Amino acid sequence: EKVTIHPAIEDAVADIENRFKSTSEIRRGGERGVPLHVWQHKAFKNWYGAQRAVGNRLDGCIFEWAFRVGPRKQFLLYWVLHVDVHVLAENRNKSNEIVLARTDIKSVCPYYVPPGAQGPEDCEVVLIKEFRSPAKTDDCFIHELPGGSAFKAQEPVVEAASELHEEVGLEIRDLSRFVDHGPRQLAGTTSAHRAYLFSVQLTGEEAAHCR
């Protein structure tokens, strides 16, 4: 974490008040081990909200790591907590796992149904070939649906359309064409983040643009 320097004590106090004004909730037990910047992160709220909804309790928490991006490293992208969770359904505590999370992603499945197509196997789906540092494929590239995440809060469908435009160069302004298939957790044993999936049927002209 970078240290914030203020020219006057009044500025420092105002900054502290601003940081804490959105976290008036009283924390108990392991909640007190969650750093403020993680506590306020949407990915943490989603994960912890799901845990509390089924009666689980955070009895212990050790902050392990965070990864920030942006010109001034102002955006929290990933964080890791070593947690001790009381599992109500099993009446036991589990403390040998970490919670890794990142900002949720929005993905689009753009597909084209050619004339005379008899079924899904005859359709064309647009995939992006992109280098990903963790890749272990034969060429170390990943073939995936257009998608990603944004640091500015937007409606999922707006973000999905933006990702399609950014990665494919295809701008679809009529958002009613996008079919919402809901969010799903991609790797529940590894990461708490989710992917919001949308699909959109392309016209022949749009499909030709993507080839």
DSSP the chain: -PPP--SSHHHHHHHHHHHHTT--SPP-GGGGGS-HHHHTSHHHHHHHHHHHHTT-EEEEEEEEEEEEESTTS-EEEEEEEEEEEEEGGGTEEEEEEEEEEE--EEEEEEEE--TT--SGGG-EE--EEEE-TT--SSSSEEEE-SEE--SS---HHHHHHHHHHHHH------GGGPEEEEEEES-TTTB--EEEEEEEEPPHHHHHHH-
Query: Domain 105-210 belongs to what topology?
Result: Nucleoside Triphosphate Pyrophosphohydrolase (3.90.79)
Residues of the chain with CATH 3.90.79.10: 105-210
Per-residue pLDDT of the chain (211 residues; tens, 9 = 90+): 566 788 889 888 888 777 766 656 789 999 999 999 999 999 999 999 999 999 999 999 999 999 999 888 889 999 999 999 999 999 999 999 999 999 999 999 999 999 998 989 999 999 999 999 999 999 999 999 999 988 777 899 999 999 999 999 999 999 999 999 999 999 999 899 999 999 999 999 999 999 8
This prediction's pTM = 0.81
